[in-house]
């Protein structure tokens, strides 16, 4: 087994390996068996295999055990990796959770995902100051006299659970007479999308147990099992200077005072509870549903889905069919053969099918942008047999018009992402010009004037290129060791003037677990950086002296570009707008974003920030939506071979600078 074979095998299992560890393995009499042993026994918290993980004693002992058990004289012990999920007995009622759990099992077996790293230092807390949004985005609901049975709509709709692509043409006629077309013009919801549920992953390790649920909610009350997996996080990552607070189990707001103060309001770092158990998926969805439905509930008087099945709720006192509203999570979307949309939504009490006719253009447009797993409110009439809702209105959580941005701050925040130090495409000359600008050493006086006002530099992920992120990535690396890449990055950041408070959040190329939310970079890496750098997780909600910025690397943008009509890589802020309308950074569970089911859904956008800063797609975009500034910063990496193949044209060395007093944005060019 040569070096490349070892590195490949390690990468395939979702780990990285240091050159020293490779050497050690090569020295063994049976490198292949040793590597297998390491990969099958390595702690899930490790993501780079180091010499200390090459457990030669354990390996030798395992061979002895194997010989005793099997009676053979050679061979390796095939072990289950610790902490594998075992499937609990699921009850069939909750398709949503079962699907998520099943795909999680698949994802957990898939190579290419890093194991969890959970630094023991702690930062932030859940933000609890979100007030109910009382903007009356309301529903004009009009009754209708003759609501058909779903069976009379089509023979091929036997019940609400099995509606498929087969509604006959006669439907649209019979429905169109009987449904009110009224959709309020003032409806704030205007866009949404289709998507698909797939690979959630939860490689995170923690010794915490999960609370037993009081009731079954998006799942059934399965007793939680307590993980007893060992975690090395605490020994691997200790605290670092000013950048990390002391370890704390309490979710606290993390305050970093000074001339340019930062308060970290919400961040997973130090708070991961995920071990990949079934109940954690249930809890995750429960948190997502309850918080998002609460936002919608302040604008919609919704009933539990279960109540729709009781006939009395479907008739008003005058005998007319009343319109009713429900709030649920979209669990299935399909188009009938006649081009109508049908989707299922679930709340904790049950699920219901909703039909949107294609003759209702505005509503149909909304429905065709629905995403799986987003939480929406639906208003409509229920067919006589109580099996189908004929929708007249859809409502996303959205941002209330009343949201004001914070004022009274001053100075500038510089927003960058996707530096990709270590890549052979890293544009070092441009980057050094940028550092000169920050130091106030630009040739132009205008630039020096701007630099003098810079208080914050925010990095939204992909600080380095990493290794083993994509196949054959090593062909495009100048620095092959990930720690070297970070050492180089730290060297650059030591050039940034001390008074500028730098905030670094990780991305999919960084050395933390791939499943999101990602914790801050580990202490071993942070230690090289100067004291004016604060490390946060991804996503993280941070207050910059009175201005709230939500930092998210933006991996879900790839999903949104793929599934929302009109959203493109050329205008990445448009994807962020779709997130904002759903008040969620990664609406579809799984897909390209591996979401770790934490107790709290860190992707919910609440409270509404002043700025959302994303990156990842290497293009620049700035938009405003209801007093929220959306900025996707570009990159410092020229086009890679992969990007050439998919025709992705990066926008390198362009830097958005936000004025914190009036939110004006200037784009500075360093190319
Ligand atoms: O991602 C930069 C952009 O390029 C982002 O839209 C993903 C996409 N990308 C880049 N390389 C690949 C491969 N190999 N497969 C799929 N998608 C890719 P970044 O995270 O900076 O690499
Ligand atoms: Fe990137
Ligand atoms: Zn990225």
Q: What is the pLDDT of residues 441-453, one digit of tens each?
A: 999 999 999 999 9
pLDDT band with cut points at 50, 70 and 90 for residue 317: low
pLDDT band with cut points at 50, 70 and 90 for residue 391: very high
Q: Among 648, 649, 650, which residue has the most ligand 1 atoms within 8 Å of its CB, making it the best to mutate? A: 648
Torsion of CA 383, 389, 179, 341, to 10 degrees: -130
Q: Among 474, 616, 635, which residue has the most ligand 1 atoms within 8 Å of its CB, making it the best to mutate? A: 616
The number of residues in the chain equals 671
Rg, the chain, Cα only: 26
CA of 460 to the centre of ligand 3 (A): 9
Q: Which of 52-56, 117-121, 343-347 has the lowest mean pLDDT?
A: 117-121
Give mean pLDDT, residues 506-521: 95
Give mean pLDDT, residues 433-445: 98
Q: Which of 248-252, 412-416, 591-595, 645-649 has the lowest mean pLDDT?
A: 248-252
Q: Which residue has the higher pLDDT, 106 or 355?
A: 355
Which of the ligands is closest to the CA of residue 554?
3
pLDDT over 90 (residue 210): no
CA of 354 to the centre of ligand 3 (A): 36
pLDDT band with cut points at 50, 70 and 90 for residue 127: very low
CA 589 to each of CA 65, 371, 476: distance values in angstroms, whole numbers, following the listed order: 42, 10, 31
List for the chain the helix, strand, coil content (%; round to 5).
25, 20, 55
Q: Which residues pair with 49 in a beta bridge?
A: 17
Residues whose beta carbons lie less than 5 angstroms from ion ligand 3: 462, 507-508, 616
Q: Among 112, 417, 419, 470, which residue has the most ligand 1 atoms within 8 Å of its CB, making it the best to mutate? A: 470
pLDDT over 90 (residue 577): yes
pLDDT value for 151: 57
pLDDT band with cut points at 50, 70 and 90 for residue 262: very high
pLDDT value for 264: 96
CA of 471 to the centre of ligand 3 (A): 15
pLDDT band with cut points at 50, 70 and 90 for residue 246: very low
CA of 98 to the centre of ligand 2 (A): 33
CA 648 to ligand 1: nearest atom: 4
Cα–Cα distance for residue pair 600/186, rounded to 1 Å: 32
Cα–Cα distance for residue pair 286/270, rounded to 1 Å: 22
Which of the ligands is closest to the CA of residue 619?
1
Give mean pLDDT, residues 428-434: 98
CA 471 to ligand 1: nearest atom: 14
pLDDT band with cut points at 50, 70 and 90 for residue 228: very low
pLDDT over 80 (residue 338): yes
Q: Which of 215-229, 284-298, 396-410, 505-519 has the lowest mean pLDDT?
A: 215-229
Q: What angle do CA 391, 394, 400 make, to 5 degrees?
A: 155
Give mean pLDDT, residues 9-34: 76
CA of 223 to the centre of ligand 3 (A): 37
Give mean pLDDT, residues 422-433: 98
Helix (H, G, I), strand (E, B) or coil at 11: helix
* Backbone φ, ψ for residue 659 (5° rounding): -80, 120
pLDDT value for 329: 96
Q: Among 510, 558, 570, which residue has the most ligand 1 atoms within 8 Å of its CB, making it the best to mutate? A: 558
Q: Which residue has the higher pLDDT, 183 or 436?
A: 436
Cα–Cα distance for residue pair 510/514, rounded to 1 Å: 8
Residue nearest to atom 7 of ligand 1 (CA): 617
- Which residues have C-beta within 8 Å of that of residue 420, sequence separation ≥ 6? 426, 462, 464, 465, 509, 635, 636, 637
Helix (H, G, I), strand (E, B) or coil at 227: coil
Residues whose beta carbons lie less than 5 angstroms from ion ligand 2: 418, 462
Give mean pLDDT, residues 216-240: 32
CA of 419 to the centre of ligand 3 (A): 10
Residue nearest to atom 2 of ligand 1 (CA): 617
Residue nearest to atom 4 of ligand 1 (CA): 617
pLDDT value for 190: 30
Give mean pLDDT, residues 575-583: 98
Q: Which of 29-38, 67-76, 350-359, 583-592 has the lowest mean pLDDT?
A: 67-76
pLDDT band with cut points at 50, 70 and 90 for residue 87: very low
Give mean pLDDT, residues 604-608: 96
pLDDT band with cut points at 50, 70 and 90 for residue 322: confident
CA 557 to ligand 1: nearest atom: 6
Residue nearest to atom 3 of ligand 1 (CA): 617
Helix (H) or strand (E) holding 632: strand 628-632
DSSP letter assigned to residue 482: H
Helix (H, G, I), strand (E, B) or coil at 353: strand
pLDDT value for 128: 31
pLDDT value for 104: 42
CA of 448 to the centre of ligand 1 (A): 34
pLDDT band with cut points at 50, 70 and 90 for residue 218: low
Give mean pLDDT, residues 89-112: 37
Helix (H, G, I), strand (E, B) or coil at 455: strand
User: Which range has highest mean pLDDT (4-13, 205-214, 588-597)?
Assistant: 588-597
Residue nearest to atom 19 of ligand 1 (CA): 616
pLDDT band with cut points at 50, 70 and 90 for residue 209: very low
pLDDT value for 174: 35
Residue nearest to atom 12 of ligand 1 (CA): 642
pLDDT band with cut points at 50, 70 and 90 for residue 384: confident
CA of 172 to the centre of ligand 3 (A): 45
CA of 228 to the centre of ligand 3 (A): 33
Residue nearest to atom 6 of ligand 1 (CA): 617
pLDDT band with cut points at 50, 70 and 90 for residue 376: very high
Residue 466 CA to its chain's centroid (Å): 20
Give mean pLDDT, residues 387-407: 91
- Which residues have C-beta within 8 Å of that of residue 317, sequence separation ≥ 6? none
What HEC string does 284-310 produce?
A: HHHHHHHHHHHHHHCCCCCECHHHHHC
Q: Which of 228-237, 371-380, 461-470, 648-657 has the lowest mean pLDDT?
A: 228-237
CA of 342 to the centre of ligand 2 (A): 37
CA 558 to ligand 1: nearest atom: 6
Q: Which residue has the higher pLDDT, 245 or 599?
A: 599
pLDDT over 80 (residue 180): no
User: Which range has highest mean pLDDT (95-99, 112-116, 163-167, 458-462)?
Assistant: 458-462
pLDDT value for 307: 87
DSSP letter assigned to residue 255: E
Give mean pLDDT, residues 194-208: 29
Cα–Cα distance for residue pair 531/527, rounded to 1 Å: 9
pLDDT value for 367: 94
In the chain, what percentage of residues exceed pLDDT 70?
A: 68
CA 168 to each of CA 9, 38, 157, 158: distance values in angstroms, whole numbers, following the listed order: 53, 59, 9, 13
* Backbone φ, ψ for residue 657 (5° rounding): -120, 120
Sheet holding 454-460, edge to edge: 533-535, 501-505, 454-460, 412-416, 654-659, 665-669
CB < 8 Å & 24+ apart, contacts of 80-89:
80/40, 81/40, 81/41, 81/42, 81/44, 82/41, 82/43, 82/44, 82/229, 82/230, 83/44, 83/205, 83/227, 83/229, 83/275, 83/276, 84/108, 85/276, 85/277, 85/278, 87/278, 88/222, 88/278, 89/222
Mean pLDDT of the chain: 75
Pair 457, 502: CB distance under 8 Å? yes
Pair 406, 265: CB distance under 8 Å? no
Residue nearest to atom 15 of ligand 1 (CA): 470
CA of 636 to the centre of ligand 3 (A): 12
Residue nearest to atom 20 of ligand 1 (CA): 616
CA of 615 to the centre of ligand 3 (A): 7
Cα–Cα distance for residue pair 380/386, rounded to 1 Å: 12
pLDDT over 60 (residue 571): yes
Q: Which residue has the higher pLDDT, 314 or 113?
A: 314
pLDDT over 60 (residue 343): yes
The predicted-structure confidence for 25-54, as pLDDT tens digits, reads as follows 888 888 888 888 888 787 655 566 777 788
Q: Among 643, 644, 645, which residue has the most ligand 1 atoms within 8 Å of its CB, making it the best to mutate? A: 643
User: Which range has highest mean pLDDT (68-77, 95-104, 215-224)?
Assistant: 95-104
Torsion of CA 443, 447, 453, 455, to 10 degrees: -90
Residue nearest to atom 14 of ligand 1 (CA): 470
pLDDT value for 313: 52
pLDDT value for 240: 32
Which residue intervals of 352-427 are DSSP H helices?
361-367
pLDDT value for 33: 87
- Classify burial at 82, counting beta carbons within 10 Å of its beta carbon; exposed 0-12, middle 13-18, buried 19 or more: middle
Which of the ligands is closest to the CA of residue 559?
1
CA of 616 to the centre of ligand 1 (A): 8
Cα–Cα distance for residue pair 463/128, rounded to 1 Å: 30
Q: What is the DSSP string of 497-558?
A: -TTSEEEEE--TTSSS-SSBSBPPPPHHHHTTS-TTEEE--BSEEEEETTEEEEE---THHH
pLDDT over 60 (residue 431): yes
The set of protein residues with a Cβ atom below 6 angstroms from ligand 1 is: 418, 462, 470, 508-509, 558, 616-618, 642-643, 648
Q: Which of 25-34, 191-200, 344-353, 387-396 has the lowest mean pLDDT?
A: 191-200
Residue 626, sorted as left (phi over 0), alpha (psi -120 to 50) or beta, turns out to be left
pLDDT value for 119: 28
Helix (H) or strand (E) holding 665: strand 665-669
pLDDT over 50 (residue 408): yes
CA of 619 to the centre of ligand 3 (A): 11
Pair 632, 615: CB distance under 8 Å? yes
Q: Which of 9-13, 23-27, 92-96, 598-602 has the lowest mean pLDDT?
A: 92-96
Q: Which residue has the higher pLDDT, 214 or 360?
A: 360
CA of 401 to the centre of ligand 3 (A): 32
């Amino acid at each position: 087994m040569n070096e490349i074979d070892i590195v490949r095998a390690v990468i395939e299992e979702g780990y990285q390996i240091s050159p020293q560890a490779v050497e050690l393995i090569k020295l063994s009499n049976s490198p292949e068996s040793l590597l297998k042993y390491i990969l099958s026994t390595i702690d899930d918290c490790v993501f780079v295999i180091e010499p200390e993980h090459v457990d030669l004693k354990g390996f030798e002992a395992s061979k002895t055990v194997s010989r005793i058990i099997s009676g053979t004289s050679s061979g390796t012990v095939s072990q289950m990796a610790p902490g594998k999920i075992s499937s609990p007995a699921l009850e069939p009622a909750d398709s949503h959770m079962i699907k998520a759990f099943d795909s999680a099992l698949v994802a957990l077996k898939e190579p290419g995902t890093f194991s969890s790293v959970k630094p023991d230092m702690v930062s932030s807390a859940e933000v609890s100051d979100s007030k109910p949004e009382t903007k009356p985005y309301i529903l004009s609901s009009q009754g209708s006299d003759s609501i058909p049975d779903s069976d009379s709509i089509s023979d091929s709709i036997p019940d609400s659970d099995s509606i498929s692509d087969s509604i006959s043409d006669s439907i649209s006629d019979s429905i169109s007479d009987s449904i009110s077309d009224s959709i309020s013009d003032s409806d704030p919801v205007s866009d949404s999308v289709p998507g698909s549920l797939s690979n959630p992953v939860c490689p995170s390790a923690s010794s915490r147990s999960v609370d037993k649920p009081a009731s079954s909610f998006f799942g059934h009350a399965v007793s939680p099992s307590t993980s007893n997996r060992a975690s090395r996080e605490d020994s691997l990552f200790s605290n670092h200077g000013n950048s990390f607070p002391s370890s704390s189990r309490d979710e606290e707001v993390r305050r970093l005072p000074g001339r340019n103060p930062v308060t970290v309001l919400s961040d997973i770092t130090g708070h991961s509870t995920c071990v990949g158990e079934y109940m954690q998926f249930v809890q995750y969805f429960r948190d997502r549903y309850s918080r998002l439905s609460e936002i919608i509930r302040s604008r919609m008087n919704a009933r539990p889905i279960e109540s729709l099945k009781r006939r009395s709720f479907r008739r008003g006192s005058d005998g007319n069919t009343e319109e009713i509203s429900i709030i649920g999570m979209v669990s299935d979307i399909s188009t009938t053969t006649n081009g109508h949309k049908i989707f299922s939504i679930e709340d904790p009490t049950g699920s219901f099918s909703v039909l949107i006719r294609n003759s209702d253009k505005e509503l149909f447009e909304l429905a065709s942008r629905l995403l799986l797993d987003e939480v929406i409110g639906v208003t409509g009439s229920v067919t006589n047999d109580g099996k189908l809702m004929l929708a007249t209105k859809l409502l996303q959580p959205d941002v209330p018009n009343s949201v004001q941005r914070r004022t009274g701050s001053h100075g500038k925040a510089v927003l960058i992402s996707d530096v990709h130090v270590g890549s052979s495409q890293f544009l070092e000359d441009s980057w050094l010009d940028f550092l000169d600008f920050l130091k106030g050493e630009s040739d132009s006086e205008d630039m020096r004037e701007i630099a003098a006002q810079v208080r914050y530099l925010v990095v939204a992920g992909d600080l380095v290129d990493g290794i083993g992120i994509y196949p054959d990535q090593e062909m495009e690396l100048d620095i092959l060791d990930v720690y070297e890449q970070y050492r180089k990055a730290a060297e650059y950041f030591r050039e940034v003037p001390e008074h500028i408070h730098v905030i670094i959040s990780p991305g999919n190329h960084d050395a933390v677990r791939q499943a999101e939310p990602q914790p801050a970079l580990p202490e071993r890496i942070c230690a090289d950086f100067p004291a004016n750098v604060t490390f946060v997780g991804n996503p993280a909600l941070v207050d910059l002296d009175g201005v709230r910025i939500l930092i998210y690397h933006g991996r879900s943008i790839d999903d949104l570009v793929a599934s929302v009509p009109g959203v493109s890589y050329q205008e990445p802020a448009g994807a962020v707008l779709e997130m904002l309308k759903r008040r969620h950074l990664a609406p579809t569970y799984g897909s390209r974003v591996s979401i770790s089911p934490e107790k709290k859904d860190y992707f919910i956008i609440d409270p509404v920030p002043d700025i959302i800063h994303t990156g990842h797609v290497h293009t620049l975009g700035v938009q405003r939506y209801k007093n929220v500034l959306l900025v996707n910063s570009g990159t410092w990496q020229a086009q890679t071979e992969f990007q050439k193949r998919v025709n992705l044209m990066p926008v390198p060395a362009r830097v958005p600078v936000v004025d914190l007093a009036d939110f004006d944005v200037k784009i500075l060019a360093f190319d």
